[in-house]
Amino acid sequence: MTAGPEFWVAAIAAAVFVGLSKGGLPVVGMLGVPVLALAISPVAAAGLLLPVYVASDIVGLYAYRRAYDKRVLAILAPAAVIGIGLGWLTAAVVPERLVTGIIGAIGVAFALTLLLRSRPEAAAGRARVGPGLFWGAITGYTSFVSHAGAPPYQVYVLPLRLEKSVYAGTTTVLFAFVNAVKLVPYWALGQLSASNLEAAAVLSVPAILAVLAGVWLVRVLPEALFFRLVTWALLLVSARHLWEAATGG
């Protein structure tokens, strides 16, 4: 494991992004792997950050233990497991660049739709099973490949117009479950080495502090501004994914 100053600067920044995502700002977490990949390979970055995600999940679960939507979780969680399984089975044959491009295209299209919509928003609807199973599987798959499950998750959940703490809690609970399931295939693929776990233990400290900061931000931001920021973050991160897919890096 590279342990120079460049590595630790990138790793601490990535850990903070992970923690903020677990505090209720999910798209921010997608910056973790790209930032850490400035110092090590993307595959190694994904393996190193998974234990950091899991450690942060524990704090996030406690913070949002009473704020989540049971129906949304009941639909998305089993579908995400299927997506993780597909990711594991196809890890050696599907180019990560292709998955990155698809994630970016979905996120950009959805974010622009929300930002450019001129008509009043439709009333919030009940979470539907069919679309939920589809987007849940895509969420599990993209989360397995590069911890990038936020865009497909948001395509399904944002139109439900959950109250912001329920949205943040539902997000935290679902991805805590997804990350726990991912431990098995990541271990089987050799991405949870002893050196990774040692570095992850150190990085868990700034990540956990960032979880608390994220929870505070969710509480103090006005609801309209909160979702506006989430949508803009989705657009920017998704555009970056499209750029990476188009340029190869």
Which residue shows structure tokens 């599990």?
140
Whether the predicted pLDDT of 1 surpasses 60:
no
* Band of residue 249 on the pLDDT scale cut at 50, 70, 90: low
Please give the tally of structural domains in the chain. Answer: 1
C-alpha separations of 78 from 20, 61, 103, 156, 213 in Å = 25, 19, 21, 15, 30
Q: Hey, how many other C-beta atoms are within 10 angstroms of the C-beta on 217?
A: 17
Contacts of residue 100, defined as CB under 8 A and 6 or more positions apart, other chains included, come to 146, 148, 241, 244, 245
Is the entire prediction scored with pTM above 0.85?
A: no
Range of the domain at 159: 5-247
What would the pLDDT profile of 59-70 be if each residue is shown by its tens digit? 889 988 888 999
What pLDDT digit, counting tens, does each position of 220-233 carry? Answer: 888 778 778 777 87
DSSP states of 7-37: HHHHHHHHHHHHHHHHTT-GGGGGGHHHHHT
Among 16-20, 172-176, 221-225, the range scoring the smallest mean pLDDT is 221-225
Contacting residues for 165 by C-beta, under 8 A, at least 6 apart: 24, 64, 67, 218, 219
Tens-digit pLDDT profile for residues 101-135: 776 787 788 778 777 765 545 556 678 899 999 99
